[in-house]
Chains A and B, each alone.
Chain A
Amino acid sequence: MHDTNSTIKKKIPCFGFILHLHPRKVNPSVLRFHLTFGLGGMAALLVAVQAVTGLLLKFHYVPTPQGAYNSILNLQETLLFGKMLRSIHHWGAILLIWVVFLHLLRVVFTGAYRKPRHSNWHIGLLLFILVVFSNFTGYLLPWDQLSYWAITISTNLIGFIPFGGSWLKEVLLGGTEVGRATLTKFYNLHTGIIPFSMLILMAYHFWHVRKAGGVVVAEEFKYLDNIDTNPHLVAREFVVALVLLAVLFFLGSVFDAPLRDRANPAMSPDPAKAPWYFMGLQELLIHFHPFIVVVFFPLVLLFAALGLPYFIKKDKLYGIWFISSNGKKAAVYAMFFGILITLFFILADEFLPGPEIVAPNLPTWITSGVLPLTVSLIAVYSFLRYLKKKYLLNRAGIVQTFIVFLVAAYSILTITGIFFRGKGMSLVWPW
């Protein structure tokens, strides 16, 4: 084993460093691709790709409302592989959101957030928020119609936070509307503060993984003898990395990053949509009061996620997808329920007479706030109770089933928002 180690070391630069991030030996059970799908490693590689492509883009980008759009055109039209460079950065950003989200789900559904990994779960959540925020700030930089209005509607959401929401919005925008100050701010966040914070948190994240003895190992595999990380784990990671880079370069060279007309603050495109990962929220906004969408749901979710390791007792149900076969069945059930009930709510809101017509005197915080929220909460609660009885779920099982439901519901909302909302945000067939 020592021989292979030294030969590979000579051939691959930084190999010692990569090895240093790993434990020397790992349990063979963690090598199974379907335990982790290599998502954490993929996220790290994508961050590196985004850093390199981003730094190259920085050579040509002009962060002012007058210059930004032209500098992108210039980059795309006069630079060798300029368009491809931007497209790779674009697709890398989209893949990164997907990969970190799936990584988060993997950690949840294999129970890896539990103690002693709870600190790393928190760091991971923070990193996830930073990835989304990084994507969001980058969205404005091309200064075209797509980016200008997406940022306008997303930041106006913040204005609905009671007590200081409009102040917070002004801090973020550097004024009352998206303008030069906003671009300067977003550019600095996107190319400086966020990547720097991510770098530090990532180091911390990796260190915690090592401290916990690597990836989560199921109780049933603990008896196995550990095997050498190099070459068993490293070789697998190398394959995943190559495939991921191939996919990314393929996407970047075949599908161009979008660029619409230059931003026009006086004319919203119809329909005007938020960045795609916020489309689920924008879809919810059609049905719910902004306070619920912007404050209630995010805060409840955030605190639930932070408290997750303390809410679930320490048990031995980790390292296995969905805990048990009953857990799997309940998860499948919850997925279908999430899809169907969300579709039902969207269609009911579209075709049934709205509360404004049935009871025109009620204020909006009841008709589009308390009322739909209560109905949906009761529906979800009774469904979870039913599943709990049917599959004899414990607390971890119920939480997991609920998360499956949330993911399914948000996916349907996102798909509806992206593909089935046309002019004036009314429901349409995309083909």
Chain B
Amino acid sequence: MKTINIQSDKKDNSLKRRDFLKKAWKVLGLVLMAELALFVFDIIRPSRKEEIISGNGELKDLGHVNDFSLGSVTPDRANKLFVVRQGDGGFMVLSLSCTHLGCAVLWNGEKQQFICPCHKSVFDMMGNVLSSPAPRALDYFPVHIEAGRLRADLSQKVQRKKYSINQVTYAV
């Protein structure tokens, strides 16, 4: 039906066509910008592939249950964690990153406290905050005990406000 118009008023229609082309260019420009934005975004965003390659998704064997005495805290610096064994035999695996700004907390055996060297945060043996600025208890890793071997899922760092009994795993 456009052809009819062209015959009736050539000038007016060429303008319409020009308008259409101008708009088309604009739309194409926007599409290009969106594609570029997506492309750049994909480049700068954190890649998940690396974690898969580094094999963090597996259960990490931390030793035999009997290696850890009752009421002890054992640092495992290679895996950036502490193995906490409570007096009643329950296990917790705590991340050593302070929940404030990520410094590696230190275990003070005398005071039975975790102390962060960066901003003086203090945690008890269960990871509860005793002194701010840390906003929440130390993160922990889920623990699985199979055939006396203590294993932790290091790919899942669990955040929590406070310690509760269901975060503890017992050797059956």
Contact residues of A with B, CB < 8 Å? 149, 152-153, 155-157, 170-171, 173-177, 180-181, 185, 265-273, 282, 285-286, 289-290, 356, 364, 367-368, 423-426
Contacts and interface: CB of A to CB of B under 8 A. Distances in A.
Contact of B133 (A173, A270, A271, A286): A286
Interface in B119-160: 119-120, 131-133, 135, 157
A182 to B, nearest CB: 10
Contact of B118 (A181, A271, A364, A367): A271
A155 B100 CA distance: 11
Q: Is the interface on chain B under 10, 10 to 19, 20 to 34, or 35 or more residues?
A: 20 to 34
A356 B117 contact: no
A176 B50 CA distance: 11
Interface in B79-104: 80, 96-97, 100-104
A151 to B, nearest CB: 10
A53 B106 CA distance: 39
A389 B50 CA distance: 62
Contact of A364 (B50, B103, B132): B132
B119 A173 contact: no
Contacts of A423: 117
B103 A290 contact: no
A266 B101 contact: no
A410 to B, nearest CB: 18
Contact of B51 (A175, A367, A424): A175
B50 A290 contact: no
A152 B46 contact: no
B132 A170 contact: no
B3 interface: no
Contact of A268 (B50, B51, B78, B118): B118
Contacts of B103: 149, 152-153, 268, 272
A152 B106 contact: no
Contacts of A272: 103, 117-118
Given A356-B131, A368-B132, 4 more contacts: A152-B101, A173-B46, A174-B47, A265-B104
Contacts of A273: 118
B96 A424 contact: no
B117 A270 contact: yes
Interface in B41-84: 44-47, 50-51, 77-78, 80
A265 B117 contact: no
Contacts of B51: 175
Interface of B is mostly: loop
10 contacts: A153-B102, A155-B102, A156-B100, A171-B46, A173-B46, A266-B104, A268-B106, A289-B133, A290-B133, A368-B133
Contacts of B45: 170-171
Contact of B78 (A171, A266, A368, A425): A266
A176 B80 CA distance: 14
B119 A425 contact: yes
Nearest to B41: A171
A425 B117 contact: yes
A269 B50 contact: no
Nearest to A180: B50
A171 B48 CA distance: 11
B46 A426 contact: no
A47 B132 CA distance: 41
B46 A174 contact: yes
Contacts of B132: 356, 364, 367-368
Nearest to A177: B102
Q: Which are the 3 A-B pairs with shortest beta-carbon distances?
A: A270-B117, A266-B77, A156-B101
Contacts of A268: 103-104, 106, 116-118
A350 to B, nearest CB: 11
A266 B115 CA distance: 14
Contacts of B117: 268-272, 423-425
Nearest to B77: A266
A425 B118 contact: yes
A286 B47 CA distance: 33
A215 B45 CA distance: 42
Instruction: Give the interface centre of A156, A286, A290 by most chain B CB atoms within 10 Å.
Output: A156
Contacts of A176: 157
Given A181-B50, A364-B132, A266 B80 contact: yes
A267 B102 CA distance: 11
Contacts of A181: 46-47, 50
Contacts of B50: 175, 180-181
Nearest to B157: A176
Contact of A426 (B80, B100, B101, B120): B120
Contacts of A175: 46, 50-51
Instruction: Give the interface centre of A181, A269, A425 by most chain B CB atoms within 10 Å.
Output: A425
Nearest to A289: B133
